[in-house]
Amino acid sequence: MKSFHNSVCVAALAAAIGLLAGPAHAQSNAAKASDKPDTGEIIVTAQKRAENVQNVPLAVSVLGASQLQAAGVRNFQDLGAVSPSLTIRPAEHPVNANVSLRGVGTFAFGIGVEPSVAVLVDEVPMAFQARAFTDLPDVERIEVLRGPQSTLYGKAASAGLINIITRGPSDTLKVRANATVTTDQEYAVNASVSGPISPTVGYVFSAAYSKWEGNVRNLFNGQKLNGRESGNVRAKLRWEPSSDAKLTLSLNYMNGNTNIGRPVIAQTTGLGFRGIVGNPGPSLATALPGVTVGPNNQDVSINYTSHTKYQGGGGNIRGEFALGDHQLVTITSYDKFRLDDYFDSDETSLSAAAYNNIQVGAFKSTLFTQEVRLLSDGSKPFHYTLGAYYANVDFERPFYRGPAFSTANWYATSKSSQIAGFVQADWQFMPKATLTGGGRVQNEKVSYTFQDIQANNAQFSGSAQDTAATYRISARYEFTPRINAFVTYSTGYKGQTYDLTTGFNANRAAAGPIKPETSRDIEFGVRSQLFDRKVTLNVTYFDTTYKNLQAQTIETLADGTTNFRLTNVGKLGTHGFEIDAGYRPNPDFNFNSSLAILDAKYIDYPVAQCFALQSPDQGCPLAAVPGGPRSQNLTGTRAVQAPQFKMSATAEYTPQIRDGLRGLAQINVQHQSSVYYSARDPQTFQKGYEIVNLSLGIRDENRRWEVAAFVNNLFDQQYYPSLINSNGSWGGAMVTQAVLPRDFRRYGGLRASLNF
């Protein structure tokens, strides 16, 4: 707690210095659509209606295109660099990656498990978070809503949500194109064209392609790993038959692949791969020939390429109709997605039958949603949003692992059907005071099948349903037209589910579904714009408690292998401060910064999984029954993937060089304090680090074109976004593997853009 209080003091000092020296404008003007006049306001749809972000009684970050560009963000998994409360932890494939806000996410791998952080594109939810792990589409802005958002957005937003807003059709012909090339063989290009077809019909079409070979070398065959290749196309067609009606058809398709290699970065001498007493197994030098272990290692040696390939597509129809002084909005969506995953589960180049193991599977999803909402006139003292929502999602997961060890062969399906009604009302009961209240009631039916093929085709099935309610209450007071404060109390809910992973058996079937996850959150916030709106300072304090948190635990079996299992892990609490500050004295200079100070701990977690080879001295006592399961008490321990302090700051200076031409200088600084990727496990501890990105270039006065050279990770700082304790596979010898980030080593590049 002392370190948390110290962090608060440091943050307050940093904010004060920032305001004096040129602090951040947390919501960059780049977030506004370029076709609209600059009013100095950032318009968001966080509460399902368009409104000034400064008037929203929620913790919302708005990320614009230039802010993403300066921080080197080109893919979804890079968003944590510019949104300090957001942490994205990569894995061997996108489905196992984790997205968390304020230290809370879904640490689960099974199908049918809703995320704690929802991901939406143009207000349409995605069935899989993995669906988002590709190049960002033609982005206008990204809204990050922190804290429970279940009242308006449902059961997949118990910790928050990310809403990616893409560009819409323009009133005049607009052509945009961007290209990037780097010194480490990354190539990316995207383009869009929009405009009118007729006075009532407009369109936008965009396409993108990118390829990066990766920064890990496979010594077995010389192949580069940790890379990706993706392509996507999007189209929107908007028809406005009258001033009272608008229909927008959106279509999208994506196709891509990734590969992965997880280098060994630390080891101690001891038993070899799959070693046991009396049978030490192959040494690391034999299993990984040529690999030099160390913190800077970027080499692996695997004889089976670990990779994924994916494709998906869908669309939605959005209708907006004026009904007197009300507006009716309908959104109908359909999406289908498939990801095939292939993994060298022994992660060696050993060819002997006793050691050569692979893992093959697929994730398939089909999602249909329908939302209808009625919005009253937002300019009146009392206004409301009334809506209904329906969703149906089907998942399939065939899975095989073997043939040497940790064998598994099964096929599972999961279905969910949800119907909900919601309402939220704002009442300006005094000239400067507004009360907001809202609620949601939802009913969900879930069902599953599980066929254990290797256990004589054992068949299991089950179903359950649940009805739950969530609500939000807030009060907002406007001291001046540019300074206001609010207090908000809200609840969150994530529905029940089944643990459809390896090891599912009659006991799990008899136990029924995993309990729902619930949360309650209280927030105090101040929103201010000072000195003719040149200075923006937003501060939020939050305190959130989660009960029956759904999370994946890892069981270490007697033979040293591991098994993944979903459980309710107890109670977790997170509280802290989020500060967004901004300063824009003139059109030439803009400075953005955001920071999060977080204290996330397990409040009640007396029986938790021990990490691999954890000793009694490390908090994992011997089992009461010899050979029985061992556990540790994590009550009072910092939550995994929850840094106590995280900050991002971006400065942009665009001086005029001559008439019609401006220079460009951008610098982005990111800092993150230490974090554990597995509770108390010293092998998964990442110390604090800083990353600096720099860009220099020129642009047209009206931003019709821009060319810039950039260097990311300027000071070549090494860090790991994910660390894996692999002791169990090496017979007791300490072996640590890492997933390397895109900027593990310094790299440079050129980017160019056209906008006319």
What is the residue extent of each domain of the chain? 2-623+638-755
Res 562: pLDDT: 52
DSSP string, 109-134: -STT---SEEEEETTEE-S-GGGG-S
Res 552: pLDDT: 65
Res 555: pLDDT: 54
Region 700-712 average pLDDT: 94
pLDDT above 90 for 558: no
User: Could you tell me which of 273, 300, 288 has the C-alpha nearest to residue 729?
Assistant: 273
Phi then psi for 547, rounded to 5 degrees?
-115, 145
**Rounded distance between C-alpha atoms, residue 476 and residue 235, angstroms:** 39
Res 10: pLDDT: 38
* Residue 150 DSSP SS3: helix
Res 38: pLDDT: 40
Picking from 95-109, 150-164, 510-524, which range would have the lowest pLDDT averaged per residue? Answer: 95-109
Amino acid at 374: L
pLDDT above 50 for 12: no
Q: pLDDT band for position 22 (50/70/90)?
A: very low
CA atoms within 13 A on the CB side of 188: 26
Res 198: pLDDT: 95
Q: Comparing 64 with 673, which gets the higher pLDDT?
A: 673
Q: Which residues contact 509 (CB under 8 A, 6 or more apart)?
A: 450, 460, 462
Given the structure tokens 């540790």, which residue do they identify? 632
The runs of H, that is alpha helices, within 484-555 are 506-511
Res 196: pLDDT: 96
Picking from 227-241, 412-426, 541-555, 669-683, which range would have the lowest pLDDT averaged per residue? Answer: 541-555
Q: Comparing 728 with 347, which gets the higher pLDDT?
A: 347
pLDDT digits (tens, 9 = 90+) for 618-634: 999 987 777 667 888 99
- Beta partners for residue 60, in sequence order: 145
Region 647-676 average pLDDT: 94
Region 453-458 average pLDDT: 94
Res 563: pLDDT: 54
Phi then psi for 729, rounded to 5 degrees?
-80, -10
Taking residue 376's Cβ as centre, other Cβ atoms within 10 Å add up to 18
pLDDT above 50 for 30: no
pLDDT above 90 for 49: no
Q: pLDDT band for position 35 (50/70/90)?
A: very low
pLDDT digits (tens, 9 = 90+) for 130-139: 777 676 778 8
* Residue 405 DSSP SS3: coil
pLDDT above 60 for 393: yes
Sign of the Cα pseudo-torsion (567, 568, 573, 576, in order): positive
Share of the chain above pLDDT 70, in %: 91
Contact 67, 142 (CB under 8 A): no
Contact 77, 98 (CB under 8 A): no
Res 566: pLDDT: 74
Res 31: pLDDT: 35
**Rounded distance between C-alpha atoms, residue 176 and residue 141, angstroms:** 16
CA distances from 400 to 130, 326, 491, 536 (A): 20, 54, 39, 54
Region 511-520 average pLDDT: 89
- Two tokens, residue 165: 């807003």
User: Could you tell me which of 80, 61, 215 has the C-alpha nearest to residue 641?
Assistant: 80
Res 501: pLDDT: 87
Region 421-432 average pLDDT: 96
Contact 122, 250 (CB under 8 A): yes
CA-based R_g, the chain, Å: 26
Res 108: pLDDT: 64
* Residue 164 DSSP SS3: strand
Region 652-680 average pLDDT: 94
Give the N- to C-terminal CA distance of the chain in Å, as an integer. Answer: 53
Res 105: pLDDT: 77
DSSP string, 594-662: EEEEEEEEEEE-SSEEPPTT--GGGT-PPPSSTTS--EE--TTPBPTT--SEEEEEEEEE--EEETTEE
What is the rounded average pLDDT for all residues in the chain? 88
Q: What is the CATH topology of the domain spanning 2-623+638-755?
A: Maltoporin; Chain A (2.40.170)
Task: Go through 611-622 and write b for each residue having 16 or more CB atoms within 10 A of its CB, e for each that does not.
Answer: bbbbeeeebbee
User: Could you tell me which of 602, 483, 599 has the C-alpha nearest to residue 541?
Assistant: 599
pLDDT above 50 for 586: yes
CA atoms within 13 A on the CB side of 603: 14
Res 126: pLDDT: 85
Res 675: pLDDT: 94
User: Could you tell me which of 378, 228, 246 has the C-alpha nearest to residue 307?
Assistant: 228
Q: Model's pTM, two decimal places?
A: 0.88
Kindly state the helix (H) or strand (E) to which residue 67 belongs, with its residue range.
helix 65-70
pLDDT digits (tens, 9 = 90+) for 68-100: 777 777 778 788 878 888 888 887 777 677 788
**Diameter of the chain by CA atoms?**
83
pLDDT digits (tens, 9 = 90+) for 303-338: 999 999 999 999 999 999 999 999 999 999 999 999
